Structure 1
Amino acid sequence: MVNTELTFKDSFGSLLVVMPSAINRLLDHRQLDSSSNEAAGVLIGERRGSHLVIYDISEPGKGDIRSRYFVDRRGPHHQAAVDDAFARSSGRLQYLGEWHTHPEDQPSPSSTDLGTWRRHLVAQEQMVLLIIGRKQIWAAKKVAEKIVPLLKV
């Protein structure tokens, strides 16, 4: 169980902070054995100027398509989690991006990941991308069409 936040930064000094409750839920979905399927969800948090804070996530559920090396987040419960957090927080908490797992120790995005994010994650504001590996978490921001990896602090 993780008790401290996980912090990343970009080259401008802007921070991405993932709170312990979200980290622990993400780590629960790691593909630690050979029969584990990929998992995916959305990231829910707040924007604090140029900084982003992740408080919550949606988790895999009914409607999602999952296999060892593929996941397609289709269930309506992901949007419901965002809508609920937005309503409960009077608009402070919102959709900030996507997460999914990879069955590797040090994950990195596949060409499929990069293409999917470029085509489907369209927003005016910067968005967060996380890949949860068995031992490490890869983090990036999508700013316009550019995907910028973040450094762990």
Structure 2
Amino acid sequence: MFDRELVFKALDGSLFVISPNVANILFSYRQIGTSSPESAGVLIGERRDTHIILKDLSEPSKFDIRSRFMVDRISKHHQKTVDEAFKKSNGELHYLGEWHTHPEDVPNPSITDYTSWHKNLKSDLPLVLIIVGRTHFWVGKKIKNNLEVLKQI
């Protein structure tokens, strides 16, 4: 598994860093089996100037709606996880974006993903989006209405 940080770079030179423990949790939700359902959650971490450090996340809840090609995070547990992280960190850890899985080796966003992100994710600060595939991560950064694919370095 992952024993070091995963680092992604944006065109403006800003970095997005995933801690090893979070990368391992994300990887554990890969849709390996033919009936493995999609999983999803929210991303939690800190902003350091233009850089974003992913330190925690919410994991799927038994109340979320999950199937092979769809997931709907309806559980309040995701917001509660963000609120608890913010409180425990004295305001250092914040909501950073969303993650979900796709049943493909090298994932790419679907039309549904793009539509949902543009409709539902509104922020003056950059947000990060992760799709976990069976062998690779897709990572994007949403700034207002623009979405940039980040490159792993």
Alignment of 1:54 with 2:54, yes or no, is yes
| Aligned equivalents of 2:74, 2:4: Cα separation in 1 | 31
Deviation at 1:76, TM superposition (A): 0.6
Corresponding position of 1:130: 130
Corresponding position of 1:16: 16
Q: How does 1:1-153 map to 2 (within 5 A)?
A: 1-153=1-153
| Aligned equivalents of 1:7, 1:96: Cα separation in 2 | 16
Deviation at 1:63, TM superposition (A): 2.1
- Structure 1 length normalisation: TM-score? 0.99
Aligned partner of 1:111: which letter?
A: I
- Give the SS at the match of 1:56: strand
Deviation at 1:74, TM superposition (A): 1.0
The sequence identity of aligned pairs, in percent, is 50
- Give the SS at the match of 2:82: helix
| Aligned equivalents of 2:34, 2:59: Cα separation in 1 | 20
Q: Which runs of 5+ in 2 are unaligned?
A: none
| Aligned equivalents of 1:148, 1:65: Cα separation in 2 | 28
- Give the SS at the match of 2:59: coil
- Give the SS at the match of 1:16: strand
Question: RMSD of the TM alignment (CA)?
Answer: 0.5
| Aligned equivalents of 1:96, 1:133: Cα separation in 2 | 20
1:31-56 deviation line (CA, Å, top 9, x unaligned): 01101000000000000000000001
| Aligned equivalents of 1:73, 1:145: Cα separation in 2 | 22
Aligned partner of 1:91: which letter?
A: G
Q: Which runs of 5+ in 1 are unaligned?
A: none
